[in-house]
Structure 1
């Protein structure tokens, strides 16, 4: 049986095969994507040529260290694919993302891609979204008003302002993140729309009907690929 870190390493290496010569791709953020980047860095040294749009400063820094050429999304018409992680993967490849705080940029990059390929370990697979607190990115001004509306209007059990290193977490784009404990999200599309109607909400961690393929690694050594029925 493989440890969780070994599963992530094997899954990341497996997913590197999706990157082909000459592609311009999106590179996500997270612990499994870390191992994908390590593998892609090795392949660049062996002659693989591609460009990548990073979804966070963290990914940008690591990709640069590994010699992976970067591109500006504003100079790209469309990305061939994006490889990214997820915090929860439900049936139909509905996702919760944003545990690392990069959900805004991740969603913009995913929307610019022909394919969104999610890589994760088996612990991220769930029957229903919502056990993982849903990240909602908000502007700092009036964030408590957003918090109140999410609880009162949408029935959220608990909404916490994300903190890091003893202070308020601030995203790459200068926003705050509210972690919303819904417990269970029966209709992700409806909730995503309702959250966007609240003034001050920048983006949500609900990735609805965006993922095309999920690559999932298991402790017994299996790596499975699931394709969305809407792809």
Structure 2
């Protein structure tokens, strides 16, 4: 089934397509979670079928793992891989320093572990994810279920001393029950509006008993590939201080788009 793509969908796809330039046969690749990362996995599957690409993928979520297997990518665990050549993942926000907020899909714990076990992390995104200051997107904090009210109270108390504009903390829900991560934990979303000092906030939050990991990715991302609705893709690499622009012709009737949306 084919369908017309929105500009945002086109932007996500061309970013994912450009990211495949960083993948070669024989690599061990971290596979991110989320809508943009799913496009990347689909592109890798197409390359495996049509070009004979052979890689081993380490998924950051059960959902990504199932998709990778479906499109023909060999899936292994991080324990089996030990070290990865590259991780390619999406983001919910990023700033000029390539500091990220991730975790909208509830997988930031695994995403951070996989990214830091990689030679490089490359983020793929549409242009709307670029922000002047992080915090408009709620900051996810993964916490253990035991003692949840205590942990939440400690986080709320800690935020009083932080340079943020908002301090609301909410438990992420899935219908009428708490959302549960692949690791069996809960997520508290911190509605901060603006984070003046992400590094300080990350360090302080992670010291609170009951907190497993927060969604701030600091000094982890090496490059960002940004897609645009007109087919343009801009790449910024902070490791060698380079930037470039390419353009793709996107056909709305390409079946890969329908597959990702299903």
Q: TM-score, length-normalised on structure 1?
A: 0.96
- Equivalent of residue 25 in structure 1, options 9, 29, 32: 29
- Show the counterpart of 1:126: 131
Using the TM superposition, give the Cα deviation of residue 40 of structure 1 relative to its aligned residue in structure 2, in angstroms.
0.6
- Write out aligned runs for 1:133-148 (5 A): 133-148=138-153
Using the TM superposition, give the Cα deviation of residue 183 of structure 1 relative to its aligned residue in structure 2, in angstroms.
1.1
2:108 is the counterpart of 1:103: yes
Contact 1:128 1:185 in 2 (8 A): yes
- Inter-partner Cα distance in structure 1 for 2:226 and 2:85: 21
- Inter-partner Cα distance in structure 2 for 1:146 and 1:181: 16
- Show the counterpart of 2:18: 14
- Mind listing any 5+ residue stretches in structure 2 that lack a counterpart? 161-165, 242-262
- Equivalent of residue 200 in structure 2, options 169, 190, 193: 190
Would you say how many aligned residue pairs link Structure 1 and Structure 2? 231
- Write out aligned runs for 1:3-82 (5 A): 3-46=7-50, 47-82=52-87
- Mind listing any 5+ residue stretches in structure 1 that lack a counterpart? none
Q: Equivalent residue of 2:230, what SS? A: coil
- Greater mean alpha carbon deviation, residues 213-222 or residues 48-57: 213-222
Using the TM superposition, give the Cα deviation of residue 161 of structure 1 relative to its aligned residue in structure 2, in angstroms.
0.2
Contact 1:12 1:39 in 2 (8 A): yes
| Deviation per residue, 1:74-117 (Å, 9 max, x gap) | 12231000000000011110000000000110001001000000
- Inter-partner Cα distance in structure 1 for 2:46 and 2:230: 26
- Show the counterpart of 2:185: 175
**If you compute each CA radius of gyration, which structure gives the higher value, 1 or 2?**
2
Q: Equivalent residue of 1:202, what SS? A: strand
Contact 1:2 1:220 in 2 (8 A): no
- Show the counterpart of 1:207: 217
- Inter-partner Cα distance in structure 1 for 2:84 and 2:204: 29
| Deviation per residue, 1:155-213 (Å, 9 max, x gap) | 35200000012211000000000000111111111100000110000000000010000
- Show the counterpart of 2:237: 227
- Inter-partner Cα distance in structure 1 for 2:207 and 2:229: 41
Q: 1:230 to 1:130 in 2, by over 3 A?
A: farther
Contact 1:11 1:119 in 2 (8 A): yes
Q: TM-score, length-normalised on structure 2?
A: 0.85
